[in-house]
């Protein structure tokens, strides 16, 4: 397959993409931790449940497919473990902490839209057994994450 390549640059401060601004701020829950790739984690002893945040689901569009990892598989902080598909785009989901997958939310196979309608509850994606509890320190708390989302949205 032949290809040609183009290199483009622009000034970061120019706001020229016209995007319809949504009037609401995304939901951020106080007792969760957050990764900068927009996944949330709920820690319960040495188990962690995670999914993607309200900000993430809003920016993805309607989720039509969730690719879940196999049980028993290891996941590493910051690395991809699955994907969601929305609007003809597959987006990798990254693991906010390292561990072993002990449960996956099979319901998402039939009802992937739960990721949009209930991102923090019914739309949870996997549960892992933590391999390094210290990693949680590297995540953001709700206030930091809210600010992070505001700053990211202000870039365009």
Partner 1 sequence: MRSPRTLHGGLEARHSSPSYTLGKRRTDHNLLIPEADLKGLGAELHYTQRGGDITFHGPHQAILYPIISLRSIGIGARNYVETLERSMIEFASVYGVKARAGHKGETGVWVGDRKIGAIGVRISSGITSHGLAFNIDPDLKYFEHIVPCGIADKEVTSLRRETDDMLLPSEEVIHEQLVSCLAKAFSYDDVVWKEDPSFILDNQEEYKD
Contact set with partner 1 (CB under 8 A): 1-14, 16-17, 19, 37, 56, 58-62, 64-65, 67, 80, 83, 85-92, 94, 152-156
Cβ atoms within 10 Å of 30's Cβ, excluding its own: 7
When the beta carbons of 1 and 31 are compared against partner 1, the nearer one is: 1
The three-class DSSP label of residue 71 is coil
Question: Smallest distance, Å, CB 145 to partner 1?
Answer: 15
Residues facing 101 on adjacent strands: 128
Question: Smallest distance, Å, CB 57 to partner 1?
Answer: 9
When the beta carbons of 14 and 30 are compared against partner 1, the nearer one is: 14
Question: Smallest distance, Å, CB 38 to partner 1?
Answer: 9
Quote the tokens at residue 27: 């939901």
Cβ atoms within 10 Å of 78's Cβ, excluding its own: 15
Question: Smallest distance, Å, CB 5 to partner 1?
Answer: 4
Question: Smallest distance, Å, CB 100 to partner 1?
Answer: 23
Residue 62 backbone zone (phi > 0: left; psi -120 to 50: alpha; other: beta):
beta
When the beta carbons of 72 and 154 are compared against partner 1, the nearer one is: 154
When the beta carbons of 132 and 152 are compared against partner 1, the nearer one is: 152
Give me the DSSP letters along 85-120: EETTEEEEEE-SS-EEEEEE-THHHH-TTHHHH-TT
What CA–CA distance (Å, rounded) separates 26 from 9? Answer: 30
When the beta carbons of 105 and 127 are compared against partner 1, the nearer one is: 105
Query: Which residue shows structure tokens 């993409």?
Result: 17
């Amino acid at each position: 397959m032949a290809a040609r390549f183009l290199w483009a640059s622009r000034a970061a401060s120019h706001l020229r993409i016209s995007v319809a601004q949504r009037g609401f701020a995304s939901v951020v829950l106080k007792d969760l931790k957050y990764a900068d790739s927009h996944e949330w984690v709920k820690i319960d002893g040495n188990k962690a449940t995670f999914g993607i945040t309200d900000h993430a689901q809003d920016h993805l569009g309607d989720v039509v497919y969730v690719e879940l990892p196999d049980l028993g598989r290891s996941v590493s902080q910051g690395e991809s473990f699955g994907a969601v598909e929305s609007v003809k785009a597959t987006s990798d989901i990254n693991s906010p902490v390292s561990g072993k997958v002990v449960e996956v939310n099979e319901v998402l196979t039939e009802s992937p839209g739960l990721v949009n309608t209930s991102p923090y509850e019914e739309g949870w994606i996997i549960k892992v057994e933590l391999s390094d509890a210290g990693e949680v320190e590297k995540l953001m708390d709700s206030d930091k994450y809210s600010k992070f989302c505001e700053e990211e949205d202000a870039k365009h």
